[in-house]
Chains A and B, each alone.
Chain A
Amino acid sequence: DVKVTQSSRYLVKRTGEKVFLECVQDMDHENMFWYRQDPGLGLRLIYFSYDVKMKEKGDIPEGYSVSREKKERFSLILESASTSQTSMYLCASGLGTEPQHFGDGTRLSIL
């Protein structure tokens, strides 16, 4: 079974802090994705990566950056956290056109 592991289930940070969310997958998938999920808005794509050191902006990249130094690890960085970035963050991985597999999410609160 595919396992996508997100480093934290819950995280509380302060405005202006630099925040790192980590995601690791164990299936050698080429594609990795970061989404945020908000009530009434569904899942929205922030960034994705189709290879090591390669990244593409999704629909809502503003205020975020990403890093993929190794194939199995994809990090989401909030450069200067704001209260509008309080949300559930979901990482996913996939291979080609195969279904994406999700981690259990990080619920991030910015105070």
Chain B
Amino acid sequence: EDQVTQSPEALRLQEGESSSLNCSYTVSGLRGLFWYRQDPGKGPEFLFTLYSAGEEKEKERLKATLTKKESFLHITAPKPEDSATYLCAVQARGFQKLVFGTGTRLLVSP
């Protein structure tokens, strides 16, 4: 069964304090790994797709990386507006559905 585990559940950072979020996965043939950001009361907003081990994607202060067993979302010098829940999901080959982790709640204090 495809499975996604995210850690930590919650993370509190000071503004400018860099850190990483982890997404460990097991899937029967990875088609893609997706990162989303979710603000309170809103739907998930797409950030990145990674398709193969060794791939990296960047957007502003965020950088996503992928290995055969896990993905990291690195946050460099975060700002308070980066506070949100970050969700990781995998899609197996031959399937349309996404399997989500339970997310990491990030709070960045000024």
Contacts and interface: CB of A to CB of B under 8 A. Distances in A.
Interface stretch (A14-22, A63-71, A92-100): A92-100
Contacts of B8: none
Contacts of A45: 97-98
Contacts of A48: 96-97
Interface in B18-64: 31-32, 34, 36, 41-46, 49
A44 B98 CA distance: 9
Given A102-B44, A103-B43, A97 B91 contact: yes
B103 interface: yes
Interface residues of B, number: 21
Contact of B100 (A4, A31, A42, A104): A42
B87 interface: yes
Contacts of B96: 31, 33, 48, 50, 94
Contacts, number: 48
Nearest to A98: B49
Q: Could you say which of A4, A31, A58, A102 has the most chain B C-beta atoms within 10 Å of its C-beta?
A: A102
A33 B100 contact: no
A99 B36 CA distance: 10
Contacts of A103: 43
Contacts of B98: 43, 45, 100
A17 B97 CA distance: 29
Interface in B82-110: 87, 89, 91, 96-98, 100-103
Instruction: Report the 3 A-B pairs with minimum CB-CB distance, sorted nearest first.
Output: A102-B43, A42-B102, A43-B100
Interface of B: 31-32, 34, 36, 41-46, 49, 87, 89, 91, 96-98, 100-103
9 contacts: A31-B96, A42-B87, A42-B102, A43-B89, A90-B43, A94-B96, A100-B34, A102-B36, A102-B45
